[in-house]
């Protein structure tokens, strides 16, 4: 994940016509968070990422692009919260990411899995199992698709 925003920025730049401010802000937020985590300040890293998610998204960005960039950030927030022993915050971050829209994709599966870990840490085992199972179903659908798209070549 550490380099994901950079990759996205590069990819979007290659695509042309990127909404530079939004992508630059995302890349900067992730880079700042990386540095803060390395410096031993995950709480501040989380605040930087929260600040990005709270920003208004510029007009003209496709709904799917908006969703995946923000969901990736929410997933990272959830991950950070779990690592710093804040499962309640992790659950909230994952839920906020899922509220942006659920699909049969890796973003939704990742958020469900992270929320499952948070629920488990909170002692809510039934809820955790539900999230894990939902994530598993998506992974199975993605596997089917991967096999249908070409399988082993």
Partner 1 sequence: MRARFLATGLLTAAACASTHPLMVGSWPVEDDRVAARGAEQRARQLEQSLSEASAGTAPPACSRVCELVGQICELSHDICALSGRHPGDPELADRCASGEQRCRRSLDRVPPGCSCPPP
Q: Which is nearer to partner 1, 36 or 72 (CB)?
A: 72
- The yes or no reply on residue 96 touching partner 1 (CB under 8 A) is no
- The yes or no reply on residue 121 touching partner 1 (CB under 8 A) is no
Using N-to-C axis directions, what is the helix angle for 20-38 and 42-54, rounded to 10°?
170
- The yes or no reply on residue 83 touching partner 1 (CB under 8 A) is no
Q: Which is nearer to partner 1, 84 or 136 (CB)?
A: 136
Minimal CA–CA distance to 86: which of 73, 74, 77? 77
Long-range contacts of 19-28 (CB under 8 A, 24+ apart): 19/58, 19/60, 19/61, 21/58, 22/57, 22/58, 22/61, 22/69, 23/69, 25/52, 25/55, 26/52, 26/69, 26/73
Q: Nearest approach, Cβ of 40 to partner 1 (angstroms)?
A: 21
Range 30-49, binding partner 1 (CB under 8 A): none
Q: Which of 35, 38, 99, 125 binds partner 1 (CB under 8 A)?
A: 125
Using N-to-C axis directions, what is the helix angle for 63-83 and 106-121, rounded to 10°?
30
- The yes or no reply on residue 88 touching partner 1 (CB under 8 A) is no
Show the tokens assigned to 21.
């401010």
Q: Nearest approach, Cβ of 135 to partner 1 (angstroms)?
A: 6
The footprint of partner 1 (CB under 8 A) covers 1, 3-4, 7-8, 10-12, 14-19, 22-23, 58-65, 68-69, 72, 75, 101, 103-107, 109-110, 113-114, 116, 120, 125-126, 128-130, 132-133, 135-137, 139-140, 142-147, 149-153
């Amino acid at each position: 994940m550490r380099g994901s925003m950079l990759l996205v920025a590069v990819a979007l730049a290659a695509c042309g016509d990127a909404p530079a401010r939004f992508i630059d802000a995302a890349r900067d937020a992730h880079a700042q968070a990386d540095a803060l985590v390395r410096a031993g300040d995950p709480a501040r890293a989380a605040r930087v990422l929260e600040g990005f998610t709270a920003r208004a998204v510029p007009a003209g960005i496709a709904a799917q692009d908006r969703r995946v960039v923000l969901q990736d950030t929410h997933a990272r927030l959830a991950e950070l919260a779990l690592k710093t022993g804040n499962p309640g915050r992790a659950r909230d971050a994952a839920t906020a990411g899922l509220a942006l829209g659920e699909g049969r994709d890796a973003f939704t599966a990742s958020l469900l899995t992270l929320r499952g870990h948070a629920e488990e840490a909170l002692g809510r085992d039934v809820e955790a199992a539900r999230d894990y199972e939902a994530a598993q179903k998506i992974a199975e659908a993605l596997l089917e698709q991967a096999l249908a798209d070409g399988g082993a070549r």
